[in-house]
């Protein structure tokens, strides 16, 4: 917990990227008690202005001396920069909330989704890790079920938006859609294959076990966040031609029987979850609806007919918000005395 202050100085590393811009927007939306705002990026962004609500602030170049006087440093610039500058920020007195994979599996660094394991936040050594976007939305939906019926096994297939690969990936999808419409053959630059009107069952590098790094992140991070390494997890991660919001088919096998009605009721009252589950009226979560939404949306809740104690569901969430920027700022709110209640109230007011 940080010392109680009226305002807190915040640095945003990677402030001109897709997640960094989202962080700035959410800081304003949630009325974070912001003192000095220090947007940091590479030399390419020097002099650019970023917006945080009504504030317009010029970007500074990230360097060794960037963190003097900073209380909280939000990192969204990739693992390489986090490994170099995260410890420097801590040495300068800041608490780092890191969105990269740099520290997620370090034993002494908590990996946090506030709705699931906020109790682990006080154990941080100056750095708190933000999980992978696909893992975040899955564990938010599954933790209430695990608490009641104990999950033994998870089989998940993800349908991940191109924004998960950054701004250039979003531009590539748009350019390829236009090219195909003009009967041209687009040449992929960001992705290994054409993404427009296509699916790519490959996110991040392949490992010796046949899974990708993205898929193994879901395995290992789920164990750490849920605090239960006995849960068996199998993931298949697919890139889809959607700009924003990841979708997942999640099948779970539980130790104790839990009904569809019980799951709906649990999730209806779960923090950070909205249930969209009236298929008879064609109501179920979709990326279009999830984009810009803070909650994890869950629908298509039904029995998994292939096992005795099985539940299947469809889980959708904005990967740039809850999957990255929002989760990081929720962690920051937990660091300030009274911050979580204040932030949640602001968010509720924003949602109407």
Residue 306 CB partners (closer than 8 Å, separation 6+): none
Q: Is 52 a catalytic residue?
A: no
Of the candidates 124, 146, 246, 293, the residue annotated as catalytic is 246
Phi and psi at residue 272, in whole multiples of 5°?
80, 10
Alpha carbon distance 205, 345 (integer Å):
41
Of the candidates 133, 146, 237, 293, the residue annotated as catalytic is 133
221, 111 Cβ separation under 8 angstroms? yes
Work out the number of other CB atoms within 10 angstroms of the CB of residue 226: 22
Alpha carbon distance 209, 42 (integer Å):
36
Nearest to 55 by CA among 94, 97, 7: 7
Return the DSSP state at 185: -
Q: Is 133 a catalytic residue?
A: yes
Alpha carbon distance 246, 105 (integer Å):
23
Residues 175/249/17/10 CA torsion (nearest 10 deg): 160
204, 212 Cβ separation under 8 angstroms? yes
86, 98 Cβ separation under 8 angstroms? yes
Tell me which residues are annotated as active site.
133, 246
């Amino acid at each position: 917990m940080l010392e109680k202050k009226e305002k807190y100085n915040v640095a945003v590393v990677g402030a001109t990227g897709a997640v960094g811009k989202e962080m700035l927007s959410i800081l304003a939306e949630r009325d974070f008690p912001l003192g000095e705002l220090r947007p940091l990026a590479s030399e390419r962004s020097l002099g650019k202005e970023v917006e945080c609500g009504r504030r317009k602030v010029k970007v500074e170049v990230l360097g060794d001396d960037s963190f003097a006087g900073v209380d909280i440093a939000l990192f969204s610039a990739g693992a390489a920069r986090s490994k170099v500058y995260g410890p420097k920020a801590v040495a300068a007195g800041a608490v780092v909330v890191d969105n990269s994979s740099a520290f997620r599996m370090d034993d002494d660094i908590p990996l946090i989704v506030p709705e699931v394991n906020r109790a682990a936040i006080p154990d941080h050594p100056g750095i708190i890790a933000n999980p992978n976007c696909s893992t975040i939305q899955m564990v938010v939906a599954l933790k209430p079920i695990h608490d009641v019926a104990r999950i033994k096994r998870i089989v998940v297939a993800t349908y991940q938006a191109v924004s998960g690969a950054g701004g250039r990936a979003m531009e590539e999808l748009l350019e390829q859609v236009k090219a195909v419409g003009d009967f041209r053959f687009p040449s992929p630059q960001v992705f290994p294959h054409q993404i427009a009107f296509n699916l790519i069952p490959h996110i991040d590098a392949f490992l010796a076990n046949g899974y990708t790094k993205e898929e193994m992140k879901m395995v290992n991070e789920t164990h750490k966040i849920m605090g239960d390494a006995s849960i068996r997890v199998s993931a298949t991660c697919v890139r889809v031609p959607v700009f924003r919001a990841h979708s997942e088919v999640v099948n779970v096998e539980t130790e104790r029987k839990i009904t569809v009605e019980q799951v709906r009721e649990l999730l209806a009252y779960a923090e950070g979850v909205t249930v969209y589950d009236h298929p008879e009226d064609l109501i179920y979560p979709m990326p279009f609806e999830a984009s810009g939404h803070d909650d994890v949306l869950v629908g298509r809740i039904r029995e998994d007919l292939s096992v005795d104690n099985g539940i299947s569901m469809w889980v959708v969430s904005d990967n740039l918000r809850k999957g990255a920027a929002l989760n990081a700022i929720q962690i920051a709110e937990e660091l300030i005395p009274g911050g979580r209640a204040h932030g949640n109230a602001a968010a509720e007011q924003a949602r109407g």
